[in-house]
Every structure is written in structure tokens, then in C-alpha cells.
């Protein structure tokens, strides 16, 4: 326990210097629309490479950043950097892509994050509808009354809103339908067992049907096999994200991947079996 406490304190101290030292970077994981098959956008993911401590997983440093309040400054950097990268891609002709950025509860509930988002969009010059903010289901449900007003303000800006890790936070569906959400992301835990796990095979189509009945798009995370992609496409899932399509890539690699990606051999139809042609 003492070792864990000291390690946590060490990471916390190093985290206070990451922006000045330029140790943070973003990687981007593409998202694929299943009908018609096309790359629709990316999710921006934060990485920290420390000269002293090596690569530190987000699961270790993000909670520390939230507890210390540093997530406010780091989160604004992530938002601005993601929008700047998207704007550079637009200058290369990729003008229909969107970018998703994860938002913590501290960013949502402290300060004027709506104002921050508005300023970044104005400064960078990307249309608001190309930015999607992702919030975890547990955050939304734990702070339901407080978050509802903030979410309405984001939608007034024209920004899209997604619930991340859906199915893990015990949402009240009655409340969910009143939130101005545009997208639901099915948690990887419900995708891993597809298509053979009976429970996952029952839950995922139910989530898709429920989301569509509320007018929401559905993105399945953690898709790693053709069989998973096939199952989701046949059940009407709108988009997928995961290693089957691409791992997270740096900005230049991601741009090259998206420019070179072709749907050749990918046959998708809502009313016919899905096949990957040779």
C-alpha cells in the first residue's frame, strides 16, 4: 500500500509538468459506418509518454488528473489539439470527418466548459457539428439534473453528444430519453462475446433497437473480428470502432489510413447477409 501511495504521488507530481514539457499526445481511432461503408470520423485518445516513467496508461493518470483538478487544463488542451488536427485534415480534403473527444465530470460541472468549447471552435474554425463530446453513462446518471442543463447548452452550440460505455452505468431510460444525446456507444464488454455468447447476442440488438427508437445513432466499440462486425451489421448497428478496422494511430498515420481506405470487397446490406468478398 505504501508503494502504491508513493507511486501515485510521483505520477501526480510529474503530471503537473506534462503540458509545459510537451509530453502529452493524441492518437486517433477511426470509426466506420456500416451502411454505406465509409470512414465517418475518429475518436481522439490521450497518451502520456514520460521521460522518467515511460508510457503511463490513461487508466492510471486520468483519475489522478481528475482528483487534482489538472483535468481541466489537460482536457482543454485535448479539445483544442483534436480540433486543430481535424482542421488540418480538412485542408487535405477530408472535410466530412468528425472527431470525438472524451469529457470528464469535472470538465462538465466545473467552470464554463460550454464557453471553452465555443471559443475553441471559433478559434480553430471547424463547424460545431463535426465535434462530438463523449460522456460516460455513469457520469450522466450520477449527476443527472446538473448535466441536463449543460448538455442542452452544448446542443445549442451545435455540438453532438455521445454516451460512452453504454450498458455499464444502469441508465434510467425514462431520463435518458429527455437528454439531448445524439449517439450511444455500446461498451466493449457487450461486443467481446459476439456472436457466440447468448447474453451478448441478445443484449446488443436490444440496445440498437432501443437507441433507434429514440432517434439515436449506435456505435459499437472494441470490434476485433469479422464475425463481430458481421453480427452488428446484420442487426442494424450504424458504426463500429476497434482493431478490426484500425488500432489508434498518430495524426499522420491516421490521415494516410483514411485517405487510402477503400470499401473494396466489403459488401454490406441491411436486408441481406454481410460478406467480405475476396
Enter the C-alpha cell of residue 17: 509538468
Instruction: Quote the pTM value.
Output: 0.91
Q: What pLDDT sits at residue 233?
A: 95
CB 248 within 8 A of CB 29: yes
* Residues 231-245 pLDDT 10s: 999 999 999 999 999
CB 191 within 8 A of CB 244: no
- pLDDT tier for residue 166 given thresholds of 50, 70 and 90: confident
Which residues fall within 8 angstroms of residue 210, CB to CB, at 6 or more apart? 173
Most confident of 131-140, 148-157, 160-169, 264-273: 148-157
Q: Say if residue 36 is preceded by a cis peptide, omega within 30 of 0.
A: yes
Which residues fall within 8 angstroms of residue 136, CB to CB, at 6 or more apart? 163, 164, 165, 169
Residue 225 predicted with pLDDT over 50: yes
Instruction: Give CA angle at 195 (267, 43), nearest 5°.
Output: 65
Residue 271 predicted with pLDDT over 70: no
* Residues 191-221 pLDDT 10s: 999 999 999 999 999 999 999 998 999 999 9
* Residues 9-27 pLDDT 10s: 777 888 888 988 999 999 9
DSSP letters, the chain, are: -HHHHHHHHHHHHHHTTHHHHT-EEEEEEEEEEETTEEEEEEEEEEEEEETTTEEE-HHHHHHHHHHHTTHHHHHHHHHHHHHHHHHHHHHTT-TT-EEEEE--HHHHHSS-HHHHHHHHHHHHT--GGGEEEEEEHHHHHHTHHHHHHHHHHHHHHT-EEEEEEETSS---HHHHTTS---EEEE-GGGTTTTTT-HHHHHHHHHHHHHHHHTT-EEEE----SHHHHHHHHHTT--EEESTTT---B-HHHHHHHHHH---TTEE--TTS--EE--
Higher-pLDDT residue of 170 and 210 is 210
Q: Which domains can be identified in the chain, with CATH numbers?
A: 2-263 (3.20.20.450)
Give me the chain's average pLDDT, please: 88
Beta bridge partners of 54: 50
Could you give the percent of the chain with pLDDT greater than 70?
89
Other Cβ atoms within 10 Å of 137 Cβ, number = 20
Amino acid at each position: 500500500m505504501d508503494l502504491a501511495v508513493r507511486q501515485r504521488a510521483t505520477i501526480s507530481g510529474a503530471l503537473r509538468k506534462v503540458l509545459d514539457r510537451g509530453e502529452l499526445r493524441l492518437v486517433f481511432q477511426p470509426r466506420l459506418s456500416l451502411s454505406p461503408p465509409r470512414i465517418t470520423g475518429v475518436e481522439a485518445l490521450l497518451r502520456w509518454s514520460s521521460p522518467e516513467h515511460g508510457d503511463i496508461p490513461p487508466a492510471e493518470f486520468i483519475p489522478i488528473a481528475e482528483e487534482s483538478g489538472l483535468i481541466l487544463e489537460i482536457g482543454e488542451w485535448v479539445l483544442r489539439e483534436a480540433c486543430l488536427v481535424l482542421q488540418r485534415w480538412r485542408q487535405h480534403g477530408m472535410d466530412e470527418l468528425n472527431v470525438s473527444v472524451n469529457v470528464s465530470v469535472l470538465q462538465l460541472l466545473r467552470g464554463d466548459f460550454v464557453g471553452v468549447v465555443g471559443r475553441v471552435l471559433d478559434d480553430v474554425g471547424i463547424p460545431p457539428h463535426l465535434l462530438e463530446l463523449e460522456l460516460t453513462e455513469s457520469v450522466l446518471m450520477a449527476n443527472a439534473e446538473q448535466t441536463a442543463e449543460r448538455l442542452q447548452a452544448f446542443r445549442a452550440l451545435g455540438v453532438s453528444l455521445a454516451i460512452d460505455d453504454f450498458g455499464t452505468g444502469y441508465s434510467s431510460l425514462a431520463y435518458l430519453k429527455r437528454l439531448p444525446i445524439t449517439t450511444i456507444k455500446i461498451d466493449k464488454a457487450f461486443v467481446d462475446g459476439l456472436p457466440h455468447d447468448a447474453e451478448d447476442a441478445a443484449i446488443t440488438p436490444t440496445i440498437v433497437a432501443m437507441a433507434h427508437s429514440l432517434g439515436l445513432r449506435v456505435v459499437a466499440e472494441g470490434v476485433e473480428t469479422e464475425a463481430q462486425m458481421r453480427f452488428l451489421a446484420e442487426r442494424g448497428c450504424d458504426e463500429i470502432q476497434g482493431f478490426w478496422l484500425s488500432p489508434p494511430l498518430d495524426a499522420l498515420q491516421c490521415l494516410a489510413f483514411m485517405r487510402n481506405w477503400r470499401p473494396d470487397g466489403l459488401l454490406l446490406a441491411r436486408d441481406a447477409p454481410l460478406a467480405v468478398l475476396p
